[in-house]
Structure 1
Amino acid sequence: MTPWTIYREGALDPAGHAQIAATLRAAFPTYPGAFEGRRSWAGARPELRVTINDDTGVAAHAGVLRRFIQVVRPDRTVEQLVAVVGLVAVRPDRQGSGIGRQLGAGIAAALDELAVPFGLLGCNEPVRGYYRSIGWQQLPPTRSFYCPLDVEDPARVVDSSDGWFVLPVTEPFDRWPDGDLHWNGAQV
């Protein structure tokens, strides 16, 4: 039996959203107000949720959303289908327990279920080793443009150039097109 469960977004009830939101609040304390009440998303709303539960609720979570990302070079633009992964969190009291590896296997299973060419995520330096250890491959410094969750300035675009990772699913890593990433929307 797998330790994770994959949920379709429409299958989650309000109590499930509240449990996920509580885990995200605990895991991301630097985003006060982002996960209030039953709000279990911060940017684009996920299509799938991967969760691992324990006796006190959701111990680990990741959100997944299929979308096309434009990969832009001066000579061409490729519309690349990916499954964007975000909201990856392990509740603080479970960090260091190995549950993150189990969550990584659940994310890979969700990507396999979606049969996309690649998974795509962005992350900060402290967690890059984790993603490398579960099979993600870091892109060379790549500019990425996306819209943050910003109700005050909804036209603002973030330009970020480091920490982008790809997980090959149905295509090998060498098939990833090189160029700038244009999300044309928010991240998960």
Structure 2
Amino acid sequence: MRANRWMRDLLAEADLTGLSPADVPPGFRDVVAGGWSVTASGARVLTALHAGPGGAFFDRLAEETTVNGRGMTDHDLPAGADTGDGTGDGPGTGDGGAVGAAVGAAVRAHTLLRRCLAYAAGCLRAAEETFGDDAVRAYVVLSPDGTDDGLLTATVTFCTPLPDVPPYIADLEEAQDAAVAEISVRDRPGPAPDARSCAA
């Protein structure tokens, strides 16, 4: 796995014990179970995300990143000032509000990370079974949503490095405003959720 400093810090802080298909939100389990397909141009795409013939793409990499990129489910996660544990910690004033915000932000970040890594593991395992190689890469990106609250959001995108096309993200360390990881099927963390278990 390649990761920038922010992602390395998140990975060091997160509890990834027992990472499993249960961490993958239901809609994304369907994507894993749907497996992979190859388009007319040779692009490797997640079947459930491919709507059929679409517009022209600049190259295979553009096609793969467009089709295979999705934002991770986060509507059920606490905002930064809500711990999500029923304590009702809100913005408030004084140290209590600050602590509640910090705990809520950590819960959100770590849950998003678990979801993304479990989803990536399932899709990468399915890609290896379909194509017989480990060429597909997953890019997990966590970044602030651009609002005043700066809520952390996440995306997972899959693509295949090509010899004649610049990398999707050439230098992860240059991503200063996001936590970024590039993952292959060989270095996915935790137990690998596969298509069969994600379909259950």
Q: How does the TM-score come out when normalised to structure 2?
A: 0.25
Higher relative contact order (CA 8 A, sep 6+): 2
When you count strand as a share of all residues, which structure comes out higher?
1
Q: How does the TM-score come out when normalised to structure 1?
A: 0.26
Q: Rg: which structure is higher? A: 2
